[in-house]
């Protein structure tokens, strides 16, 4: 396992950084979060077709570039820094990862090329009313009638569910949890946008009423695929959180250098110094956890489940703390709608809860290491 990034990976970071500076400014984020679809179609085309970021870690045989998870970690970190508005996380971290970790080569060949090329958008519908992210929370049933699978039930908190062309659904059959594919134009499908605290990441409620679906992989083996996807998604989210945490830390430090009180920059006061020093330690520790997760996933290491929960728990708390302290350091202006601090705080809070909060992941970590 390598613990440094190569020159090519550094160049990837620089390229994505420059692109997002141009295409994901604060003004653009505010514009997009007020639109129903939540993303810019032209920017999506540039990301997928020109930069090749959507298919970055998809094998070449399925239309991708064949890179690894270390490269994806870099991209997710930069997108977290810029609060990128778009269906990248839902398509790449969720749907593509779920397909890649299934044993269904026919489904991979059918769906991955269009996803990797940015022609189609996808998401995963997992959570239900219980809000649980483990297999006990999957209660929606799928039945087989005349050789056709039918779905009935409801899914919540589906990322980018209103714009996804392909929805991968977790449902129970007599054999156990299975994964099914449903396209957005399938009869019996009703999608409703949810009102969310973090407007930069759209969520939806999806209802299934006698909805025809296609089984992905082996009936009853779905949780094996989903569990792996959740671990990889947790690592991707941790990288996003590091990018956001670094941004708000930089924002706080820059403000502390320029804001003057009692004739001195507030950064010269001991209380502010301590806040910034503590945040720096937390952000750097979070970066180490997220990077290690990316490298472990890149090597397909047995440590991935352990590192994923560790990274998700630590990075969630580090980001939320950094976002909250950034508001405190800015004082009154940090509480205003016009300041970007609240955008990052809301993303930090929603990301903390997505796929399970730190308490859940610490318990999961303890189980995985046998404590």
**In whole angstroms, what is the distance from residue 313 CA to residue 315 CA?**
6
Domain spans, the chain: 7-116, 122-221, 224-368
Asked whether 106 and 217 are in contact (CB, 8 A), the reply is: no
What percentage of the chain has pLDDT greater than the value 70?
99
**Over 70: is that where the pLDDT of 152 sits?**
yes
Euclidean distance between CA atoms 234 and 292, whole angstroms: 12
Region 190-204: what's the mean pLDDT? Answer: 96
- In 160-302 the beta strands, taken as DSSP E runs, fall at 166-173, 176-183, 189-193, 203-216, 260-261, 264-265
* The token pair that represents 80 in the structure block: 């977290």
**Fold held by 7-116:** Butyryl-Coa Dehydrogenase, subunit A; domain 1 (1.10.540)
Helices 358-368 and 304-330 pack at an angle, to 10 degrees, of 160
pLDDT at 2 over 80: no
With a cut of 70, say whether residue 1 has pLDDT above it. Answer: no
Q: How confident is the model over 177-186, as a mean pLDDT?
A: 97
- Taking residues 334-359, what's their average pLDDT? 96
Q: What is the mean pLDDT of residues 139-167?
A: 96
pLDDT at 114 > cutoff 90: yes
Pick the CATH number of 122-221 from 2.60.120.1440, 3.40.50.720, 3.30.470.10, 2.40.110.10: 2.40.110.10
- State the pLDDT at residue 267: 82
pLDDT at 4: 85
User: For the structural domain made of 224-368, what CATH number should be given?
Assistant: 1.20.140.10
> With 70 as the cut, is the pLDDT of residue 210 above it?
yes
Query: How far is 114 from 121, CA to CA, in rounded Å?
Result: 8
Reported as a single tens digit per residue, the pLDDT across 243-291 is: 999 999 999 999 999 988 888 888 889 899 999 999 999 999 999 999 9
Cβ atoms within 10 Å of 366's Cβ, excluding its own: 11
What does the mean pLDDT of the chain come to? Answer: 96
Per-residue pLDDT band at 3 (split at 50, 70, 90): confident
Q: Residue 175: helix, strand or coil by DSSP?
A: coil
């Amino acid at each position: 396992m390598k613990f440094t990034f190569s020159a090519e990976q550094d160049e990837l970071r620089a390229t994505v950084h420059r692109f997002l500076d141009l295409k994901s400014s604060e003004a653009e984020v505010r514009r997009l979060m007020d639109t129903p679809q939540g993303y810019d179609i032209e920017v999506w085309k540039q990301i997928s077709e020109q930069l090749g970021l959507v298919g970055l870690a998809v094998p070449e045989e399925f239309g991708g570039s064949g890179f690894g998870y270390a490269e994806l970690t870099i991209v997710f970190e930069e997108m977290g820094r810029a609060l990128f508005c778009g269906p990248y996380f839902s398509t790449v971290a969720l749907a593509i990862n779920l397909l890649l970790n299934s044993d269904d080569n026919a489904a991979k060949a059918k769906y991955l090329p269009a996803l990797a090329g940015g022609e189609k958008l996808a998401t995963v519908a997992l959570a239900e009313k219980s809000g649980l992210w483990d297999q006990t929370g999957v209660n929606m049933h799928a039945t087989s009638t005349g050789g056709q699978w039918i779905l009935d039930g409801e899914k919540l908190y589906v990322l980018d569910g209103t714009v996804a062309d392909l929805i991968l659904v977790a449902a129970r059959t007599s054999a156990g949890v299975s994964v099914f594919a449903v396209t957005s134009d399938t009869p019996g499908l009703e999608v409703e946008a949810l009102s969310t605290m973090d407007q930069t990441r759209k969520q939806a409620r999806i209802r299934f009423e006698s909805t025809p679906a296609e089984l992905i992989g082996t009936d009853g083996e779905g949780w094996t695929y989903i569990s792996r996807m959740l671990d990889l998604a947790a690592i991707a989210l941790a990288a996003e959180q590091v990018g956001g945490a670094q941004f708000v830390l930089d924002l706080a430090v820059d403000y502390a250098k320029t804001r003057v009180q009692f004739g001195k920059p507030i950064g010269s006061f001991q209380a502010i110094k301590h806040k910034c020093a503590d945040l720096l330690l937390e952000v750097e520790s979070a970066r180490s956890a997220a990077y290690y997760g990316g490298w472990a996933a890149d090597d397909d290491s047995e440590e991935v489940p352990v590192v994923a929960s560790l990274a998700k728990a630590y990075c969630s708390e580090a980001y939320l703390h950094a976002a909250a302290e950034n508001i405190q350091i800015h004082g009154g202006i940090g509480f205003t709608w016009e300041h970007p601090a609240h955008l990052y705080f809301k993303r930090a809070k929603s990301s903390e809860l997505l796929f399970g909060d730190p308490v859940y992941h610490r318990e999961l970590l303890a189980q995985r290491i046998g404590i």
